[in-house]
């Protein structure tokens, strides 16, 4: 980790209004006029969080359709003023803009805010500032190009096994603002610790960590992890470098541990460049035997050499690889990252093991659908980019690969060249299937390829039947599209459901 540099809070407007003091739930939030950018899920959570403080709230949204008007009616009932159809103009008298994560940094509203000297916060920045002065739940935070949701839910399962009041929040599940302001029956914070998933969009809007002398700002994350970094959302961030830098913001001000993937040098670089608190440790995780201050795998065991008395000579068994379901390599890596964060927080070995045993992943994440005539059918529809698909393809020795959809400008040469030894055949579908076909022709010319030309949702039945014809007993028919789904389906879940339904249709034929 690099030398820590201390910066000062930039939230001082040209008119002299200092917003640096708005750092807990006792601050005079009622004195502020806040412009909320977006009337969706995040925007509504901002309004819910601030309305109890008497903050003047103005919500702006560029849409003016039936759904937007329904959201506006809900927000107005909560006391906000809502402006639909104009998301570009900064309302008069605004002290701060709080943006929903998906708004691009080059949105005209933010340009107008910069010109007026009005700071822009994300919902996570606001949540940090609203944390209660006493008893605030520490944050264990996770980001990465792939695996975030699985890992944060694993972490929550481990924390629950430790008897802690927790919840997976942020980019998954409950909005972080709702969790921060939630109270228990006695009026205190409702959580002991939060498992926080953060997207690159959310991290972009975090302000840099600041320190203010004797009364300095408390550290940001108690512990944080970056699982992996591969180019994604480049249209939003502008470049791979900017995307990686935003991922690295999760480490800023980390208190106890910065967790990185030993198989991904970029994650280690982000740790080395992070500005953290004194005493924060770099903790690596990987699928090999761990070095000192690391977590890894020895034979069939998950092992911790980081949180032991003597990291040079000691190690402790956390769980068996078989305790992780599914036991695909990338999922075992997810389990190690979750365990590292939990152990940094002081969770026992027993709780790590029980939490991993209790955990089951969400749907459409390398989920076994059925076995038909000796062939396994696996739904990893969530693999919407090449990096995620590569992890799935590495998990099985002989695969009939179902792929295609919206490529979002991606190329697949590296993916195919890395996976060709695992491929028996490929069945391609969707708008940009030709891009994958061309990569297969260049790097795996001996792999049979079938293209399904239809672009309607019913085409998945044809896809699965063609895959079944190509598969042999012991093979895996793997839906790992490496592409987005919206050319044919409402979302990746609908795509996975269509795949599963078609597989179950095969079962009906076999009965």
Average pLDDT value for residue range 334-345: 98
**Segment 79-117, tens digit of pLDDT:** 999 999 999 999 999 999 999 988 999 999 999 999 999
| CATH number corresponding to 367-510 | 3.90.190.20
Across the beta sheet with 367-372, the strand order is 367-372, 375-379, 476-479, 399-403, 423-428, 449-451
Average pLDDT value for residue range 10-23: 64
The residues that bridge with 409 in the sheet, in sequence order, are none
Distance CA 284, CA 282 (A): 7
| CATH number corresponding to 29-126 | 3.40.50.720
Has residue 215 got a pLDDT over 50? no
pLDDT over 90, % of the chain? 79
Distance CA 466, CA 117 (A): 60
| CATH number corresponding to 136-358 | 3.40.1190.10
User: Nearest-5° angle of CA 318, CA 321, CA 323?
Assistant: 80
Across the beta sheet with 316-320, the strand order is 168-170, 194-197, 139-143, 223-226, 257-261, 281-285, 294-298, 301-304, 316-320
Beta-carbon count within 10 A of 136 CB: 17
**Segment 346-355, tens digit of pLDDT:** 999 999 999 9
**Segment 475-507, tens digit of pLDDT:** 999 999 999 999 999 999 999 999 999 999 998
List the chain domain ranges.
29-126, 136-358, 367-510
Mean pLDDT of the chain: 91
Phi and psi based region of residue 186 (left: phi greater than 0; alpha: psi -120 to 50; beta: remaining):
alpha
Contact between 494 and 485 (Cβ < 8 Å): yes
**Segment 365-408, tens digit of pLDDT:** 889 999 999 999 999 999 999 989 999 999 999 999 999 999 98
Average pLDDT value for residue range 258-262: 98
Distance CA 500, CA 464 (A): 9
Three-state SS sequence of 142-156? EECCCCHHHHHHHHH
**Per-residue model confidence (pLDDT) at position 220:** 86
**Segment 434-472, tens digit of pLDDT:** 999 999 999 999 999 999 987 666 799 999 999 999 999
In this prediction the pTM is 0.85
**Per-residue model confidence (pLDDT) at position 9:** 44
Has residue 213 got a pLDDT over 90? no
Among candidates 305, 264, 253, which has minimal Cα distance to 146?
A: 264
**Segment 37-77, tens digit of pLDDT:** 999 999 999 999 999 899 999 999 999 999 999 999 999 99
Burial of 424-434, coded b for 16+ CB within 10 Å and e otherwise, reads: bbbbbbbbbbe
**Per-residue model confidence (pLDDT) at position 5:** 38
**Per-residue model confidence (pLDDT) at position 217:** 52
Phi and psi based region of residue 293 (left: phi greater than 0; alpha: psi -120 to 50; beta: remaining):
left
In this structure, what token pair is assigned to residue 119?
């700071």
């Amino acid at each position: 980790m690099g030398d820590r540099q201390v910066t000062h809070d930039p939230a001082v407007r040209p008119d002299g209004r200092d917003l640096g003091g708005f750092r807990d739930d006792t601050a005079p939030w009622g004195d502020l006029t806040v412009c909320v950018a977006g009337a969706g899920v995040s925007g509504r959570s901002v309004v819910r969080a601030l309305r109890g403080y008497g903050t003047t709230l103005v919500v702006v949204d560029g849409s003016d359709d039936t759904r937007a008007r329904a959201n506006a009616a809900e927000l107005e009932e909560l006391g906000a003023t809502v402006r639909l159809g104009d998301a570009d103009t900064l309302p008069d008298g605004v002290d701060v803009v709080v943006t929903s994560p998906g708004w691009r940094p080059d949105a005209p509203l933010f340009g107008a805010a910069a010109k007026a000297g009005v700071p822009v916060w994300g919902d996570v920045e606001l949540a940090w500032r609203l944390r209660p002065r006493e008893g605030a739940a520490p944050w264990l935070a996770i980001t990465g190009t792939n695996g975030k949701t699985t890992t944060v839910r694993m972490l929550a399962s481990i924390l629950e096994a430790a008897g802690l009041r927790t919840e997976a929040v942020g980019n998954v599940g409950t909005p972080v603002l709702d969790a921060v302001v939630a109270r228990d029956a006695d009026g205190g914070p409702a959580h002991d610790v939060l498992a926080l998933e953060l997207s690159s969009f959310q991290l972009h809007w975090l302000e840099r960590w600041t320190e203010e002398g004797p009364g300095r700002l408390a550290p940001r994350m108690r512990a944080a992890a970056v699982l992996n970094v591969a180019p994604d959302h480049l249209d939003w961030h502008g470049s791979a470098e900017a995307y990686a830098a935003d991922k690295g913001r999760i480490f800023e001000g980390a208190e106890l541990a910065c967790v990185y993937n030993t198989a991904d040098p970029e994650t280690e670089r982000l740790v080395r460049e992070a500005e953290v608190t004194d005493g924060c440790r770099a903790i690596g995780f990987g699928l090999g035997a761990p070095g000192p201050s690391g977590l890894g795998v020895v034979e069939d065991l998950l092992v911790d050499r980081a949180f032991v008395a003597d990291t040079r000579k000691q190690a402790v068994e956390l769980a068996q690889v078989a305790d992780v379901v599914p036991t695909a390599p990338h999922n075992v890596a997810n389990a190690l990252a979750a365990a590292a964060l939990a152990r940094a927080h002081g969770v026992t070995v027993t709780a790590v093991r029980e939490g991993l045993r209790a955990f089951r992943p969400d749907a459409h994440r390398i989920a076994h659908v059925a076995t038909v005539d000796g062939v396994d059918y696996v739904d990893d529809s969530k693999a919407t980019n090449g990096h995620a698909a590569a992890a799935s393809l590495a998990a099985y020795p002989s695969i009939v690969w179902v792929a295609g959809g919206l490529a979002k400008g991606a190329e697949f040469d590296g993916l195919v060249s890395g996976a060709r030894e695992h491929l028996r055949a490929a069945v391609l579908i969707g708008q940009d299937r030709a891009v994958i076909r061309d990569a297969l022709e260049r790097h795996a010319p001996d792999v049979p390829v079938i293209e399904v030309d239809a672009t309607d949702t019913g085409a998945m039945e044809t896809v699965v039947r063609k895959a079944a014809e190509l598969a042999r007993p012991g093979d895996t028919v793997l839906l790992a599209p490496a592409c987005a789904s919206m050319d044919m389906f409402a979302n990746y879940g609908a795509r996975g459901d269509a795949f599963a339904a078609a597989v179950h249709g095969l079962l009906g034929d076999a009965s």
